[in-house]
Amino acid sequence: MISALIFLPAAAAIFLLFIPEERARFIKGFSLVFSSLPLFLGLWLLLRFDPTYPLPQFVERARWIGSGLFYHVGADGISLMLLLLTSFLSPLAVASSFNYIKERQKEYYIMLLLLQTGMAGVFAAQNLFLFYIFWEAMLIPMYFLIGIWGGERKLYATVKFVLYTMVGSLLMLVGIIYLWKTSPDHSLYFYNLYSLSIPPGTQILLFLAFALAFAIKVPLFPFHTWLPDAHTEAPTAGSVLLAGVLLKMGGYGFLRLAMPLFPYAFRLFLPYLVVLAIVSIIYGAAMAFVQEDAKRLVAYSSVSHLGVVMLGIFLLSFKSYMGGIYQMLNHGLSTGALFLLIGMLYERTHTRDMGKLGGLAKPLPALAAFLSVTVFSSIGLPGLNGFVGEFLVFLGSFQVSKTAGAFAALGVVLSAVYLLWMYRRVMQGPVKNPAYMDLPKMNLREILIMAPIVVLFFWMGIYPKFFMGKFEKSARFMMEITQQKYKIVSIVEQGGAK
Amino acid sequence: MGLIPLAILVGFAVLAIIFDLFLGRWWAKLFSYLGVALATGAEVLVWSHRGKFLSDLLLQDPVGIFSAALILIFTFMVFLTADGYDLKAGIREGELYILLALSTAGALVMVTTRHLLVAFLGMEILSVANYALAGLRRDSLSKEASVKYALLGVFASSFFVLGMAFYYRAGGNLYIDSRVAANPSPLALGAGLLLVSALMFKASLFPFHFWTPDVYQGSPSPVTGYFSVVTKIAAFVLLLRLSDFVIRPEFRWFLAASAVLSMIYANFVALKQTDIKRLMAYSSISHAGYMALALLLGKGGGWVLLFYLAVYGFMNLGAFAVISSMAERNSLEDYRGLSRLNPPLAAFLAFFLISLAGFPPTAGFLGKFLLFSEAGGAGYWALVVVAVLATLVSVYYYLRVVLYMFMKEGQEGGFYFPTSILSMFISLFFVLELGIFPYTLLAFLKVFVG
């Protein structure tokens, strides 16, 4: 089931190879259908999911390469939520590209579908080898998406994106190899690795290798410099998935791998990591203030928001941990929505320069309404989803450290300022360019893209228990492994094909 | 029995020469194809008759049979690639196929013996045919390639001969065995140094790599593909047979240093290349560096070395099938916008380069993963870190070619017809097969090569 969720898009991509490029309508429809199917599979899994069980469910395992390298996927609560996020945003990204991408459409949708497979695989993988395969395989479609359909500085942005990510992940590969070679049963199954006792010196090296890979992906200051370029130059769908899903992989990697695998090293580096998260919050916000390009502004806001997420996860109080995970989902939705809206604006005005925009609420009332809701969600207005996650992070942070909590709160205040300011400059005031008065209104497709996101904003804001209940047990379990409350006994990974 | 594949190959090559003289080129081609195909079949049959032949001069053991089969399959793919190429470049077909078949015979001899003199014969058959192959294009670059290859190759051969002399003095015969390798006398040490250096030349390992870029650039593209794969397999398998020497403490650091420098030097120099064949030459040096890691493991690294050689052969020949289709328009500028001009060709090359760079789920990734983990498992963690960082550098230049093909606007140009779509498909199939479902091959290699 989970395998189908992962590989359906890739199968569709391979099928698309044999469709002639001229049949653009078919290609679009086909991609939309096959990128949405995983969402239905995911919802079905959600119905069958047992929230009281902390370990992965729906496990699928098969003999693969031998010597402990299995094909092994499954989902615990955290993974399931992130899988759903991926499956939810991907079809929206496909649908948002129908008008935006006019050239080389077939290749474009092939790359989007492959990317979806890679992203889902990262969250579903249950052993390090498989995790790394999806983690790396995902880079290639993203490389093409930014490099072919990106903006003016696309070549620079895409090479920078790939190289930055590779620096981290290749050192992580050495770490993975080390774990594989030194673990007693040559198993890379996550829950077996948690039970390893790795000597402190080794832990430090391994933690640095893993943490670098994830810190680049999150991104934490000072490893964030690829992000504004990649986000700004990527086509809308690319930015949506980058911000919505790819950045979550960094956070997911920390909480699933770097922290529980190397708890000693994590404790050792905790102060530095917290400082980096706080610097990311402030720095991202400060940079967002001075951007003229709306997309770049949102990119820097991501740095700031992810700082809050990471702060919550690092501090390891249950509230902040839950808040951090919840905030990952929120950020995926709200920043994804921001990029979608900016993409829609750009399709109409062909500029993202906020100095040239202004007063667009008049010609585009629906878009303005959506943008306002999204901005409110992003800055954490009570009643919307962002509030719940951020509030939990503050609560948890204050319990651990008043300073950290204060800085996290400062980040939210700042984000309110620059996002509202962006809204004002784009939507309010006099219409700067008379030509903008005749801009086409939002069409039905665009409204249908935005509507489900807005519904989720409210749902996640008003009744968060529905979502939190699903991953509460898993989150507590992961957190306690990290805190070494108890050592889990090695769960032997069996080789039986299923 | 053990001689049959070789006899078939050489016999058909001789027939090809005769028919080429009297009845025309088409026959030469036919007989060369037939020879390689039948020899592959014979090699499979030999499997059930493994053992020593010709009073121990020939050795059909699992390593030998597997690598011989690989060599024959790769030669067949080079034939397929050369099929459309020779018409365009005005090369005499007959010569190309006959020389390739003879060179392959030399490679077969090299991998199925443990007698140094026989190995030397094989090496010379391979090399002399290769010198001629390099010059087939008959323009100045090709001539330079041929002369350079021959002159430097003779050095390597003389190293090998001198090494044999020392070896004979130290061991009393020319069979490769561990007793001589364990012999602490300077004579045995000198023998090992000379033999290993000569083979490092053939494998284009630093510091014996200097011929590689020029020869690769000047030779006809399918032949370059052949050099980069078949010669490398023959050299590495012979190095594997000499592994008792290689893992002597005196050599270990030498080989380790050579591996590190091959990886670092080649990958950094490749960054600046604007000619795709030169770029592939440096890529081949760097891959030799990765493979040298397996040699450090001694006999125990045999399975991973052979696996990597198979993977490397398929991905590299796939890339060269595309490069051959470009009819010697080898500047990166010629690849600009290729994805618009000829999408399948660009997609194929991109795929093989991505595999060479080591991205999953291609075989290039799995090969590197297994190679690096074996090296790490043996304690060479520092080398693994260097190798991984070298890989990072290589990602840049492999992806640069992809960038030219896919992300830069193309100029005016014609549509290139792929010379051998079949060869590309074979490569594609195996690069995916070995990357995603490698279990059978790995199990086979682990059981029989160990």
Q: Provide the number of CB pairs (under 8 Å) joining chain A to chain B.
A: 77
Between CA B39 and CA B72 the distance in angstroms is 7
pLDDT at A489: 52
Work out the mean pLDDT of chain B and round it to a whole number: 90
pLDDT at B357: 94
Residues of A with CB under 8 A from a CB of B: 63-66, 107, 129, 132-134, 136-137, 139-140, 143-144, 147-148, 154-155, 158-159, 162-163, 166-167, 170-171, 173-174, 177-178, 180-181
Between CA A360 and CA A362 the distance in angstroms is 5
Q: Scanning the structure block, which residue is given the tokens 């960082």?
A: B389
B409 reaches A (C-beta below 8 A): no
Dump pLDDT digits (tens) for B169-183: 888 888 888 778 777
B393 reaches A (C-beta below 8 A): no
B384 reaches A (C-beta below 8 A): yes
Residue A184, min C-alpha distance to chain B (Å): 13
Between CA A478 and CA A393 the distance in angstroms is 17
Q: Are the Cβ atoms of A66 and B391 closer than 8 angstroms? A: no
Which residues on chain A are in Cβ contact (under 8 Å) with B361? 133, 137
What does the block give as tokens for B290? 């990765």
Q: B358 to chain A: nearest residue by CA?
A: A136
Between CA A96 and CA A205 the distance in angstroms is 43
Which residues on chain B are in Cβ contact (under 8 Å) with A143? 399, 402
Q: Are the Cβ atoms of A147 and B360 closer than 8 angstroms? A: no
A143, A145, A149: best to mutate for the B interface, most B CBs within 10 A: A143
Which residues on chain B are in Cβ contact (under 8 Å) with A139? 359
Q: Are the Cβ atoms of A177 and B359 closer than 8 angstroms? A: no
Q: Are the Cβ atoms of A177 and B395 closer than 8 angstroms? A: no
B432 reaches A (C-beta below 8 A): no
Which residues on chain B are in Cβ contact (under 8 Å) with A147? 403, 406-407
Between CA A137 and CA B84 the distance in angstroms is 34
Which residues on chain A are in Cβ contact (under 8 Å) with B402? 143
* Residue B271 one-letter amino acid: L
Q: Are the Cβ atoms of B439 and A63 closer than 8 angstroms? A: yes
Phi, psi of B162 (to 5 degrees): -65, -40
Which residues on chain B are in Cβ contact (under 8 Å) with A129? 369
What does the block give as tokens for B169? 């003095």
DSSP-derived secondary structure letter, A353? B
Q: A177 to chain B: nearest residue by CA?
A: B373
Q: Are the Cβ atoms of B381 and A163 closer than 8 angstroms? A: no
Dump pLDDT digits (tens) for B408-425: 887 655 556 666 788 999
Between CA A254 and CA A246 the distance in angstroms is 13
Q: How does residue B100 score in pLDDT terms, banded at 50, 70 and 90?
A: very high
pLDDT at B424: 92
Residue of A132, A385, A93 lying closest to A244 (CA atoms): A93
- The answer to whether the pTM exceeds 0.90 is yes
Between CA B233 and CA B108 the distance in angstroms is 10
Between CA A452 and CA A450 the distance in angstroms is 6
Report helix, strand or coil for A127.
strand
Q: A166 to chain B: nearest residue by CA?
A: B392
Cβ contacts of residue A80 below 8 Å, gap of 6+?
Answer: A42, A45, A46, A49, A57, A470, A471
Average pLDDT (B351-369) is 93
Between CA B315 and CA B324 the distance in angstroms is 14
Q: For B395, which of A133, A147, A163 is closest by C-beta distance?
A: A163
Q: How many CB atoms lie within 10 A of CB B175?
A: 18
Within B172-220, where are the H helices?
Answer: 178-182, 186-202, 211-218
Pick out chain A residues at pLDDT < 50.
490, 492-498
Buried b (16+ CB within 10 A) or exposed e, A427-461: beeebeeeebeebeebeeebeebbeebbebbeebb
pLDDT at B90: 66
Between CA B408 and CA B347 the distance in angstroms is 15
pLDDT at A497: 35
Average pLDDT (B378-405) is 93
Total residues found in chain A within this entry: 498
B450 reaches A (C-beta below 8 A): no
pLDDT at B54: 80
Q: For B388, which of A64, A155, A173 is closest by C-beta distance?
A: A173
A7, A18, A69: best to mutate for the B interface, most B CBs within 10 A: A69
Q: Are A452 and A322 in contact (CB under 8 A)?
A: no
Residue of B307, B314, B408 lying closest to B355 (CA atoms): B314
B293, B407, B446: best to mutate for the A interface, most A CBs within 10 A: B407
CA–CA–CA angle B284, B287, B291 (5° rounding): 135
Q: Are A174 and A233 in contact (CB under 8 A)?
A: no
Using CA atoms of B295, B296, B302, B305 in order, give the dihedral in degrees to the nearest 10: -50
Q: Are A229 and A160 in contact (CB under 8 A)?
A: yes
Between CA B215 and CA B281 the distance in angstroms is 9
Cβ contacts of residue B399 below 8 Å, gap of 6+?
Answer: A143, A159, A162, B353, B354, B357
Which residues on chain A are in Cβ contact (under 8 Å) with B385? 171, 174
Task: Give Cα separations from A302 to A446, A458, B417 (angstroms).
Answer: 23, 21, 47
Q: Are the Cβ atoms of A159 and B399 closer than 8 angstroms? A: yes
| Burial class, B409, CB count within 10 angstroms (exposed 0-12 / middle 13-18 / buried 19+) | exposed
DSSP-derived secondary structure letter, B411? -
Residue B387, min C-alpha distance to chain A (Å): 10
* Residue A248 one-letter amino acid: K
Q: Are B223 and B133 in contact (CB under 8 A)?
A: yes
Residue B441, min C-alpha distance to chain A (Å): 10
Q: A151 to chain B: nearest residue by CA?
A: B407
DSSP-derived secondary structure letter, A293? B
Residue B238, min C-alpha distance to chain A (Å): 28
Q: For B361, which of A66, A137, A148 is closest by C-beta distance?
A: A137
Average pLDDT (B153-166) is 93
Which residues on chain B are in Cβ contact (under 8 Å) with A206? none
Residue A133, min C-alpha distance to chain B (Å): 5
Which residues on chain B are in Cβ contact (under 8 Å) with A173? 369, 372, 388
Query: Higher model confidence: residue A3 or residue B53?
Result: A3
What does the block give as tokens for B84? 């459309």
Report helix, strand or coil for A420.
helix
Between CA A262 and CA B190 the distance in angstroms is 48
Q: Are the Cβ atoms of B384 and A177 closer than 8 angstroms? A: yes
Sheet strands (E) in A67-119: 69-75
Residues forming a β-bridge with A353: A293
What does the block give as tokens for A343? 């993409």
Between CA B182 and CA B180 the distance in angstroms is 5
